[in-house]
Amino acid sequence: MKLDRFIPFVVAAAALVYAPTLAQTTKPGAAGSTQKPAAAAKGAVRTVDIVGTEQMKYDVTTIAAKRNEQLRIRLTSKGTMPKIAMAHNVVVLKLGTNQPKFIADGAQSRETDFIPPAMKDQVIAKTALAGAGETVEVTFKVPGAAGSYPFVCTFPGHFQAGMRGTLAVK
């Protein structure tokens, strides 16, 4: 009985011990060097966490950002309703996008996460849809032009209920 549990443990431990060696042999150029994680490099990604609720609201409605910075928007949906009935995303749109049209046309298009195919060129960044308990994220480069860029939830009815915000780029 005990041995049955012990053997997988040994195999897992051996994998942990040998994994760094394997990684080095597959990257000969890195051998002997002390590389820092990419996240520590210049231009690191900044993360903004947002919660979407069953009241069809974001808990963050204004994101202040710097021009051209790398930004990760991470959205978590809270609630208990099934995803088919309640899900959220974050879709950042270009300045001047006709938001009501974008939302109305998108509502016909569940297969594209309610983003209207004919207006997809208006999208700067978008997450997937997150059902209750799920977290989705998108990493993108903030536009180089200052302005108040809208972000919206495209799930039908949510924009109208106030599920929208502003990416304020300075």
Determine, following the binding rule CB under 5 A, whether residue 155 of this chain makes contact with Cu ion.
yes
Determine, following the binding rule CB under 5 A, whether residue 158 of this chain makes contact with Cu ion.
yes
Q: How far is the CB of 29 from Cu ion (least distance, A)?
A: 45
20-28, 62-70, 104-112, 148-156 -> range binding Cu ion (CB under 5 A): 148-156
Spatial distance between the Cα atoms of 151 and 145, rounded to a whole number of angstroms: 16
* Residue (77 or 143) nearer to Cu ion, CB: 77
Closest residue by Cα to residue 168 from 63, 82, 43, 85: 63
Contact present, 73 and 60 (Cβ < 8 Å): no
* Residue (151 or 155) nearer to Cu ion, CB: 155
- What is the phi/psi pair of residue 59, to 5°? -85, -10
The burial of 129, by beta-carbon neighbours within 10 Å (0-12 exposed, 13-18 middle, 19 or more buried), is given as: buried
**Given phi > 0 = left and psi -120 to 50 = alpha, else beta, which region is 38?**
alpha
Interacting positions 62-91 with Cu ion (CB under 5 A): 88
Determine, following the binding rule CB under 5 A, whether residue 163 of this chain makes contact with Cu ion.
yes
41-49, 103-111, 121-129, 150-158 -> range binding Cu ion (CB under 5 A): 150-158
Q: Which residues contact Cu ion (rule: CB under 5 A)? A: 88, 153, 155, 158, 163
